[in-house]
Amino acid sequence: MPVDAISLEVFRNLFASVAEEMGVTLQRASFSPNIRERLDFSCAVFDKEARMVAQAAHIPVHLGSMPASVQAAVQNFEQLNQGDLIVLNDPYRGGTHLPDITMVSPVFDADGVAFYVASRAHHADVGGMSPGSLPLSTELYQEGLIIPPVLLRLSGWMNEGVFQLMIANTRNPQERTGDIEAQMAAHRVGEQRMRDLLVEHSPVVVHEHAQALMTYSQRLTEDIIARIPDGTYSYTDALEGDGQAEFEIPIQATITVTGRTMTVDFDGSAPQVLGNVNAVEAIVRSATWYCVRLLAEDDIPVNQGCFVPVTVTTPAGTVVNPYFPAAVSVGNTETSQRVVDVVLGALSLALPDRIPAASQGGMNNVTVGGWHRGRQFVYYETIGGGHGGGSSADGLSGRQSHMTNTMNTPIESLEMAYPLRVWRYGLRTGSGGAGQHPGGEGIIREYEFLSEATVTLNTERRVRTPYGLSGGEPGQVGINILVRDGQKTRLPGKHTTRVHPGDRLIIETPGGGGWG
């Protein structure tokens, strides 16, 4: 079969359908609301050289960083067999943070490994010093079980030692068992669908189209970059603290555009910090590639080809490329969002009519864990906020933004699964920045606790406002409030506390910046 425009589109959808079916399987088979309801997972297909060929429309921060995990997994094993499955979560080997468990499994043809299928799912708890495994940590060891690339399945047989080790290091072993088995089931589906493709179309044809897709995406990305005026553009923003103290942690990006290539250099960013906001290099690359992808006017297949024209440089020992074992639990959620703000801020200097104002700038992480009726529970949620207004439209309200693509946990599901009651859930009127195109509104979510629990908040934009552009006003900062015995206490952006039955937590998320 010759590679032409029609066959390329057919194979683009065939590859993507494998990842999509893996995702549907994982969602339907999972136990935790975090995976089943919020869809906090991602799936993708890689070629035998561990280059991403196709992805499903899942989580941006997962998919841009997953290639580093797949490469680390493959390089750790000289030989793989049919039925093998590798598991890992180490952020310093391509991971993001420890709750994101990555699985990689090979697909064989007559000549050996032909492709890999991979998945990454956020598991609600993998141990560590606080429920939900997003603690106010000062080193990686405090954040949970660290899993280097190991075989969870050998020639189709479960490695019970590794499996039991993973289950023993979680506060909710039954839920973890179900979610891990669901993730493995997704791989069985992905492996079979890829084998079907290889049999139906022949390995030569499938490989030719995989390579052609990557070449096509590279060319389209180069076309995007070529439309940006050549030059150097810099922007700086900051995080608001590391969970140990509140202080500004600058992140600086300098973009250099030359013809059809782009370099993004993060020199000038703060040295790595004691607390949990350090982001490993894979996350920063993922956030940067995402920003370039946003400039596409047409739907570009997202694969390894998109990454080739964009070079990302992160100085070692900084908050955007820390040395092991620096704490990184919310570098994945909060720092990735600030990297987006910085890169888009720099691009706004080159393309002032194309780039929107800042969105909410964080994921508003809430983790709750404790005992209820003799059983442990762990709840994890990210809460949406306002999108920045742009040159042609107002910002969206009450949505997840940029590096997260999850849904919310429906109130009915949340209250059925956890000893929590939701009293308010709605838009935060007036939180979006004013402008010709105002920023979107944030969200108010109010919980009541029905049992003793530990709450950990990891939130940003509680001090620094989401910026406006082209004269637009900034969005409002978020607010975290604990209500106890009728008394309201404003909490810092990053905080851990014990709560009692009857206490309430109010999260008011930031609005987006206005444009014009």
For residues 498 and 371, what is the distance between their CA atoms, to the nearest angstrom? 12
Domain assignment of residue 181, given as a range: 5-218
Sheet of 494-499, strands arranged across = 375-382, 365-372, 453-458, 494-499
pLDDT at position 94 is 86
Percent of the chain with pLDDT over 90: 92
Q: Is residue 9 part of a domain?
A: yes
At 232-251, the pLDDT tens digits run 999 999 999 999 999 999 99
For residues 219 and 225, what is the distance between their CA atoms, to the nearest angstrom? 10
At 300-351, the pLDDT tens digits run 898 999 999 999 999 999 999 999 999 999 999 999 999 999 999 999 999 9
pLDDT at position 358 is 98
* pLDDT range class, residue 405, cuts 50, 70, 90: confident
> Exposure of 177 by Cβ count < 10 A (0-12 exposed, 13-18 middle, 19+ buried)?
middle
- Residues 172, 124: contact at Cβ < 8 Å? yes
Percent of the chain with pLDDT over 70: 99
For residues 468 and 397, what is the distance between their CA atoms, to the nearest angstrom? 16
Q: Which of 289, 292, 269 is nearest to 279 (CA)?
A: 269
For residues 322 and 165, what is the distance between their CA atoms, to the nearest angstrom? 28
Q: Is residue 338 part of a domain?
A: no
At 458-478, the pLDDT tens digits run 999 999 999 999 999 999 999
For residue 57, is pLDDT > 80?
A: no
For residues 386 and 514, what is the distance between their CA atoms, to the nearest angstrom? 10
Domain boundary among 176, 197, 218: 218
* pLDDT range class, residue 78, cuts 50, 70, 90: confident
Q: Is residue 424 part of a domain?
A: yes
Give the SS3 label for residue 105.
Answer: strand
pLDDT at position 298 is 82
Domain boundary among 218, 239, 257: 218
489 CB neighbour count, 10 Å cutoff = 10
At 246-287, the pLDDT tens digits run 999 999 999 999 999 999 999 999 999 999 999 999 999 999
pLDDT at position 297 is 85
pLDDT at position 1 is 65
Task: List phi, psi (to 5°) of 86.
Answer: -95, 140
Comparing 99-108, 187-196, 253-262, 294-303, which segment has the lowest mean pLDDT? 294-303
Give the SS3 label for residue 141.
Answer: helix
**Beta-carbon contacts of residue 40 (< 8 Å; ≥ 6 apart):** 34, 59, 121, 122, 406
Q: How many domains does the chain have?
A: 2
Q: Is residue 512 part of a domain?
A: yes
Domain boundary among 182, 198, 218: 218
Q: Is residue 345 part of a domain?
A: no
Q: Is residue 203 part of a domain?
A: yes
Give mean pLDDT, residues 500-504: 97
For residues 363 and 442, what is the distance between their CA atoms, to the nearest angstrom? 12
Q: Is residue 301 part of a domain?
A: no
pLDDT at position 286 is 92
pLDDT at position 56 is 82
For residue 63, is pLDDT > 70?
A: no
Q: Is residue 417 part of a domain?
A: yes
* pLDDT range class, residue 24, cuts 50, 70, 90: very high
Give mean pLDDT, residues 353-381: 96
For residue 91, is pLDDT > 80?
A: yes
Comparing 131-140, 179-188, 407-416, which segment has the lowest mean pLDDT? 407-416
For residues 403 and 62, what is the distance between their CA atoms, to the nearest angstrom? 9
Give me the DSSP letters along 348-373.
HHH-TTTPPPP---S--EEEEEEEET
